[in-house]
């Protein structure tokens, strides 16, 4: 004989399950926000690192964890920049296309720097982390400079500025470890 389950009981179970998921996420994000307050761009830090929080469930949220989250977010933003660049180059003038080609190479350098920063995080090597983030910021500035040289608007400017800000956040977080 099959027993029917009351719809009210099913709804109650669903509400309890949803509430437990929300409280965990909110707890993680509040800890992230608290750590991010010590960075130069706390809202950007909390937003970008907070999106990565679900990947770090079960562990304590400390500056190292938030730094890992931020590096992951930085990597995703760099990949998004490269995807945007691929579309922008199709309609660019020849001078802008040359500048975008250099920017693409610089974004690849940034991804290499992020890999080195990840390894340095494993060793709690704050000096190397800061150096890698400084080099990443220089790459973004180098991309911006190419457009100043050719006298055209940089279609990557919005990405570059957010990546420079994210590098500053990572440098600040590295001072907390």
| DSSP letters spanning the chain | -PPPPPHHHHHHHHHHHHHHHHHHHHHHHHHHHHHHTTSSSHHHHHHHHHTTGGGGTTS---HHHHHHHHHHHHHHHHHHHHHHHHHHGGG--HHHHHHHHHHHHHHHHHHHHHHHHHHHHHTT-HHHHHHHHHHHHHHHHHHHHHHHHHT---TTHHHHHHHHHHHHHHHHHHTT-
What are the chain's domains? 7-174 (1.20.140.40)
Query: Block means of pLDDT (10 residues each) for the chain, length 177 residues?
Result: 44 35 48 95 94 76 94 97 97 97 98 98 98 98 97 97 98 97
Residue 8's pLDDT is 41
């Amino acid at each position: 004989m099959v027993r029917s389950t009351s719809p009210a009981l099913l709804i109650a179970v669903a509400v309890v399950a949803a509430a437990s998921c929300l409280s965990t996420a909110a707890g993680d994000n509040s800890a992230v926000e608290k750590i991010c307050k010590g960075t130069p761009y706390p809202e950007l830090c909390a937003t970008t690192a907070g999106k990565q929080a679900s990947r770090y469930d079960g562990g304590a949220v400390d500056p190292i964890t938030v730094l890992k989250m931020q590096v992951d977010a930085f990597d995703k933003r760099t990949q998004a920049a490269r995807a945007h660049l691929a579309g922008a180059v199709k309609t660019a003038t020849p001078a802008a296309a040359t500048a975008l080609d250099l920017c693409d190479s610089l974004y690849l350098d940034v991804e290499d720097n992020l890999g080195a920063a990840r390894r340095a995080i494993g060793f709690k090597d704050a000096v190397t982390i800061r150096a890698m983030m400084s080099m990443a910021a220089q790459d973004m500035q180098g991309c911006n400079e190419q457009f100043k040289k050719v006298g055209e608007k940089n279609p990557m400017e919005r990405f570059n500025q957010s990546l420079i800000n994210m590098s500053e956040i990572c440098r600040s977080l590295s001072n907390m470890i």
